Amino acid sequence: MTSSQAPRAPFGGSVALLGASSALARDLTLSLAAAGAASLQLYVRDIAGSERWLREHHLLDRCALYTYADYGSVPHDAVINFIGAGDPQRVAGMGDAIFDVTRHYDDMVLDGLRRHPQRRYIFMSSGAVYGHSFQLPADTTTPATFPVNALAPQDFYAIAKLVAECRHRALPQLDITDLRVFNYFSRTQDLSARFFICDILRAIRDSATLRTSPDAMRRDFLHPQDFYQMIECVLAAPPGNRVLDCHTLEPVDKLELLEAMQARFGLKYEVAGAAAVVNSTGAKPHYYSLRRDAAKLGYAPEWTSLDGVLSEAAALLSVIPA
């Protein structure tokens, strides 16, 4: 982590968060509330569950809760759309429903933008939009590649996000930023999710031995503070229609991560054979991006992937009962 970055004034307008009960949205809610400038509107399905969460974090007086049916009735300056499955297991189980869900809530936001073109829209996209092209990391020239004659359910999530991005680029007059998140990790991570990092943490928690394949894997785990910084950079930037790839100071290799988790937390692991991993969007040896367009908006990440994972894992594991 570095600390050379000059402080940035937080966004002071009203922000609507769709899918506000997701882990990523909740982490951002905590960051925005801590900054203290924005007025927050949280749109969720489960009002009671979200009220409990807000009460636990002493935020009931800082955030207004609404159902999705209320969206459009309350003015706001910016909207961030977190709707979508994050857990690979859930992505795999949604099948073609991911298209309808993504389109429905995107349409809802776009209808509001057409009526209020000064409104800012941040759409949570994914690095998966690049398709099956991660033998090398993505860069400015990387094309999206999909097996168009043999599409499988694992392609649907990526294509749904790509279609949304295409629709957004077709509306250049509207202020829309698509943020491609590759990997994200925080102390609030649900350890039941089928991510490799969760497999590691469950093994540590349960004093079990993690069994993993020898396949090469390099990942870029975004830290909550850098995600918040990215959001603030977009909200502070001049209006525009753009797409940005999220990134850290440096990605991390699988073996480097395993060795660090062993040294820090006593992880036991074996590298042999093939592991049972849920590849909801396909196998990706180098799932991260070299695009640095966000730097033009002032984004300067403070965390490497490894430092971020070690810091957040320490906080997460400290609250798990022995």
Q: Left (φ > 0), alpha (ψ -120 to 50) or beta: where does 282 sit? A: left
> Is the residue at 51 inside a domain?
no
> Is the residue at 298 inside a domain?
yes
Domain that holds residue 175: 83-188+220-250+289-306
pLDDT above 70 (res 247) = yes
Per residue in 56-68, pLDDT (tens digit) is 999 999 999 999 9
> Is the residue at 238 inside a domain?
yes
CATH at 151 = 3.40.50.720
What confidence score (pLDDT) does residue 278 get?
Answer: 46
pLDDT above 80 (res 88) = no
At 209 the three-state DSSP class reads strand
> Residue 83 corresponds to which amino acid?
I
Indicate the number of domains in the chain: 1
Q: Left (φ > 0), alpha (ψ -120 to 50) or beta: where does 35 sit? A: alpha
111 phi/psi in degrees, rounded to 5 = -60, -40
What confidence score (pLDDT) does residue 87 get?
Answer: 58
Report the predicted TM-score, pTM, of the whole model to 2 decimal places: 0.92
> Is the residue at 92 inside a domain?
yes
> Is the residue at 196 inside a domain?
no
